Chain A
């Protein structure tokens, strides 16, 4: 398969650039990447400003910053892996793992801060029992707060969000790079542009998810998570519009690079 560099398998014809529907497939993959980013932000426990004062469950910063931090780490891993290995599939998977490691470190360190620094036990304000460990939560929530710290279910949800978001971001990057049709040294010129375009799409989708959840969410068990389909639809439309522009840029750029080379 040309797209993911899996020469062992002989995939369907649509995966080769000669097919007339190849560009349509690339566009669908970019849209899928955007939707994955939007879904991933819904899974990450974000507390916003209240969580910074240990008055709400989650990491104490905004959705955009948190998603961008983890997403950019994933993208950095993906780009490094792509430059070293040249394989699209490994690049996408390791991008997801890079994001997961980053978001897990953030959640672990902020939990250490909440437990040993502020002196509060991790407790969820939205669920009376932790959906995974079945531990009692509501008795540990301090009066006047909506929970604090990052309990087990939120932690696992955040790690899952990291892997989905990282895969989405890396997928956009790989598809944009493959759209140019360049490889090896020719691709060096186009690498930074495709990274910047995927960062731009990452931020756009993170903000769409952030508006949908209204700034704070605890994870997959939060009632706000049910609104995810709306955000996914909006994200699909906006990413599709931006994806057409990105694809046109990369394809035109690929032709330009081929002429120059």
Chain B
């Protein structure tokens, strides 16, 4: 009876439109909300037009973590069926399409770039997932939905990282150099944060909360790097203390996240381990002979 109940419960969840599932909704809404909070509460410096002061850039950081958690959750769901090519492959596919869409939407030079990017990522993810699943004969249930989720999560994460470092999605002079650096780092950083957690935890004793905590740890480490980049860029412009408030807050926030996530992950590891033993000392010379 319990099995039937679980089956029923799963069936009910599957019938829901995939964007209204809890993880997807949290990732999508908080990703977009974080980006727009950081974008809308920003001030252009009066003396130096290239400097954009974003005191709320930590909101985009939280949005980035939520989007990465969403994409990593989709990787977990799709990889459970056994792709045959390793977990990283689906992460690299998602980030490849997400990178193209993120660069395209940011260079549209409008405040609606994040929304346009999200919509494009959903559509292209669905189309390519459908093509791969049916034409190549993968036959994995809901593959197109999961690939759309991975693509959208990665797109939101890259656009958030642009907002964290550059402070805007509208062109400023010298923007292309900054953009190239951010996307180069975001390409591999977001991809690793998305696929590493499930790849490291997979196995019969894989637990959802442990995997998710490792994802948050990876995403926080990436956030720390982006925040440091933002701090150095703003500090180099020498525009006063108010321009580095956002990045300083992001750095402290990400450090707090890193330690909390590490502690929780370690607690989960100890909870799930059957036994933790000491490895002991290395064997001496007489033990080897």
Contacts and interface: CB of A to CB of B under 8 A. Distances in A.
B132 A200 contact: no
A162 to B, nearest CB: 19
B127 interface: yes
Contacts of A150: none
B92 A64 contact: yes
Contacts of A193: 103, 176, 179-180, 183
B120 to A, nearest CB: 8
A120 interface: no
Given A62-B88, A196-B103, A241 B93 contact: no
Contacts of A137: none
Contacts of A189: 176-177
B272 to A, nearest CB: 24
Most buried by A among B101, B107, B138, B171: B107
Contacts of B97: 200, 204, 238, 242
A116 to B, nearest CB: 25
9 contacts: A62-B88, A197-B99, A203-B92, A204-B93, A207-B93, A208-B132, A211-B138, A238-B131, A246-B103
B83 interface: yes
Contact of A249 (B89, B90, B104, B136): B104
B9 interface: no
Contacts of B96: 200-204, 207
B95 A192 contact: no
A62 B86 contact: yes
A183 interface: no
Interface in B74-102: 83-86, 88-90, 92-93, 95-97, 99-101
Interface stretch (A12-20, A73-81, A153-161, A226-234): A226-234
Interface of B: 83-86, 88-90, 92-93, 95-97, 99-101, 103-104, 107, 120, 124, 127-128, 131-132, 135-136, 138, 171, 173, 176-177, 179-181, 183-184, 187
Given A197-B103, A208-B136, A64 B88 contact: yes
A237 B84 CA distance: 23
A210 interface: yes
A260 B176 CA distance: 12
Contacts of A68: 92
A199 B187 contact: yes
Interface string A54-91: 00000000111100100000000000000000000000
A177 B176 CA distance: 14
Contact of A200 (B171, B176, B187): B187
Most buried by A among B89, B95, B101, B171: B89
B156 to A, nearest CB: 16
A159 B202 CA distance: 34
A248 interface: yes
Interface string A202-232: 1110111011101100000000000000110
Nearest to A63: B85
B100 A242 contact: yes
Nearest to B108: A252
B100 A190 contact: no
A253 interface: yes
A212 B100 contact: no
B7 to A, nearest CB: 29
B160 to A, nearest CB: 17
A200 B179 contact: no
Given A189-B176, A252-B107, A214 B85 contact: yes
B124 A63 contact: no
Nearest to B99: A200
A21 interface: no
Nearest to B132: A211
Given A193-B180, A200-B187, A215-B85, 13 more contacts: A65-B88, A199-B99, A203-B93, A211-B136, A212-B136, A233-B135, A234-B135, A238-B127, A246-B103, A246-B104, A252-B107, A253-B176, A256-B171
What are the nearest 10 A-B pairs in CB distance?
A192-B180, A204-B96, A203-B96, A200-B99, A207-B93, A245-B104, A215-B85, A200-B96, A215-B84, A189-B176
Most buried by A among B84, B85, B92: B85
B45 to A, nearest CB: 20
Contacts of B83: 211, 215
Contacts of B180: 192-193, 196
A237 B136 CA distance: 13
A230 B99 contact: no
Given A234-B136, A256-B171, A211 B179 contact: no
A260 B173 CA distance: 8
A201 B138 CA distance: 21
A69 to B, nearest CB: 13
A208 B138 CA distance: 11
Contacts of A208: 93, 132, 136
B85 A211 contact: yes
Nearest to B83: A211
B176 A197 contact: no
Given A192-B180, A193-B176, A215-B86, A207 B92 contact: yes
